[in-house]
Amino acid sequence: MDVETTNPSWLLSFPHVVVATISSLLFGYHLGVVNEPLESISIDLGFRGNTLAEGLVVSTCLGGAFIGSLFSGWIADSAGRRRAFQLCALPMIIGAATSATTRTLAGMLIGRFLVGTGMGIGPPVASLYLAEVSPASLRGTYGSFIQIATCLGLMGALFIGIPVRETAGWWRICFWVSTVPAGILAFAMIFCAESPHWLYKKGRSAEAEAEFERLLGGSHVKYAMLELSKLDRGDEADTVKLSEVFHGRHFRVVYIGSTLFALQQLSGINAVFYFSSSVFKSAGVPSDVANALIGVANLTGSIVAMLLMDKLGRKLLLLWSFFGMTMSMVLQVAAANSYVSGSGSLYLSVGGMLMFVLTFALGAGPVPGLLLPEIFPNRIRAKAMAFCMSVHWVINFFVGLLFLRLLEQLGPQLLYSIFASVCMMAVIFVKKNVMETKGKSLQEIEIALLPPE
């Protein structure tokens, strides 16, 4: 077959990818939206001083996200990727409006739970969609957009929260603001391409061809369809049983995916995010400056990862990222050592924390969400992503719940040593188990990992 040798133009797929990453922007925004306004919310809704209620306002969202991620695979497979994005935007709009207008703690918790379900659906569907609509030459770069959008969402939430101490009721505006991008996501998805992989799996080959033409250009359609037909018969309307994800020929890739997400969360990244303000405060750095420094480190690392993802490849970025995180945690251990002087300890602690966030954003942050939909076969991709994201949320929840308690019980030296050990284990795991997917089509990756039966 006469195949177009040049890569498809990025201009064709770019608008579809940008719309999809609005879900990641919302994800980041809702993760950070209650950080600054929490005190004002507690005063206005009458639970000031109740640390359990304050904790629930933060963590109810994570509970909703776990539920949403459990169902994300089923939604993405039955309704399609585009409709899944719209179904992710809907509870985010209703939940944010409920939180913005409530006069009670119960109303706030219902709103946060609804927003959380949308947050749970969004990331796995965004990873799936980007992997399936991107040309192989750009898949790494586009996959990095998810992490960049999440960073921008987090920074946007902190920025919009600045007037909360001076302006009464400003926290309600913080929630209302998020309904705008959620509405744009739901509306703009009407005009975006559906995943050709999903359409083909549903036996809708003609529509899959039409979408490939929109995404890649006419000269690449025949080759893309040929690649797709290598593994998928195109008539598999049968549903994937959950048991298929956990045993047999698919077990290895699901094991790699879920372990990568587990190691990402057990590395201590969320503990660093949750705890950074108090570390900076002890160094005499105001919390708004601390948040800005963490945000800049995160965004800088994400942009560098975007530039390198399709040049150096996923595996190399993962290896160096986890190794850099290990070294950062070693600095934190040194900072907690009683032999290090006061100012030296603070410099090591702050430097180690910023280096940790930067190196995380270079690989451990963006790569798992990109790599997993690449290594999962088309048939189980959505459900396997849903399972792996559920693992992510469970560990995220327990790290957030137990970190301060463990810090109190074990002390910073031992706890940071554990995080350093996990990061080093991740380096060994990646070296042994992760294959390079740079520049390969999804079908080539599937054949390499799962030879046809």
pLDDT number for residue 345: 73
* pLDDT band with cut points at 50, 70 and 90 for residue 97: very high
pLDDT number for residue 452: 58
Closest by Cα among 424, 199, 180 to 322: 424
Q: Residue 44 corresponds to which amino acid?
A: D
* pLDDT band with cut points at 50, 70 and 90 for residue 7: confident
Q: Report residue 14 CA to chain centroid gap.
A: 19
pLDDT digits (tens, 9 = 90+) for 149-177: 999 998 898 889 888 888 888 999 999 99
CB 300 within 8 A of CB 362: no
pLDDT digits (tens, 9 = 90+) for 239-275: 566 666 677 678 888 899 999 999 999 998 877 776 6
pLDDT digits (tens, 9 = 90+) for 365-391: 999 988 988 888 888 888 888 889 888
CB 381 within 8 A of CB 317: no
pLDDT digits (tens, 9 = 90+) for 315-365: 999 999 999 999 999 988 888 776 666 667 777 878 888 999 999 999 999
pLDDT number for residue 338: 60
Q: What is the mean pLDDT of residues 308-312?
A: 90
Closest by Cα among 100, 295, 282, 263 to 180: 100
Residue corresponding to tokens 């660093």: 272
* pLDDT band with cut points at 50, 70 and 90 for residue 233: low
Please say if the pLDDT value at position 3 is more than 50. no
* pLDDT band with cut points at 50, 70 and 90 for residue 2: very low
Model confidence, pTM: 0.86
pLDDT digits (tens, 9 = 90+) for 192-209: 999 999 999 888 999 999
Q: What is the C-alpha end-to-end distance of the chain, expressed in Å?
A: 26
Q: What is the mean pLDDT of residues 139-146?
A: 90
* pLDDT band with cut points at 50, 70 and 90 for residue 234: very low
pLDDT number for residue 179: 97
Q: What is the mean pLDDT of residues 310-318?
A: 91
Spatial CB neighbours of 72, under 8 Å, sequence gap ≥ 6: 84, 120, 121, 124, 125, 382, 385, 386, 389
3-state secondary structure the chain: CCCCCCCCCHHHHHHHHHHHCHHHHHHHHHHHCCCCCHHHHHHHCCCCCCHHHHHHHHHHHHHHHHHHHHHHHHHHHHHCHHHHHHHHHHHHHHHHHHHHHCCCHHHHHHHHHHHHHHHHHHHHHHHHHHHHHCCCCCHHHHHHHHHHHHHHHHHHHHHHCHHHHCCCCHHHHHHHHCHHHHHHHHHHHHHCCCCHHHHHHCCCHHHHHHHHHHHHCHHHHHHHHHHHHCCCCCCCCCCCCHHHHHCHHHHHHHHHHHHHHHHHHHCCHHHHHHHHHHHHHHCCCCHHHHHHHHHHHHHHHHHHHHHHHHHHCHHHHHHHHHHHHHHHHHHHHHHCCCCCCHHHHHHHHHHHHHHHHHHHHHHHCHHHHHHHHHHCCCCCHHHHHHHHHHHHHHHHHHHHHHHHHHHHHHCHHHHHHHHHHHHHHHHHHHHHHCCCCCCCCHHHHHHHHCCCC
Q: What percent of the chain has pLDDT over 90?
A: 46
CB 128 within 8 A of CB 195: yes
Measure the CA dihedral 155/364/265/92, to 10°. 40
Closest by Cα among 66, 74, 82, 75 to 129: 82
219-258 core/surface letters (b: 16 or more CB in 10 A; e: else): ebbebbbeebeebbebeeeeebeeebbeeeebeebbebbb
Please say if the pLDDT value at position 1 is more than 50. no
- Give the SS3 label for residue 89: helix
pLDDT number for residue 27: 94
- Other Cβ atoms within 10 Å of 63 Cβ, number: 18
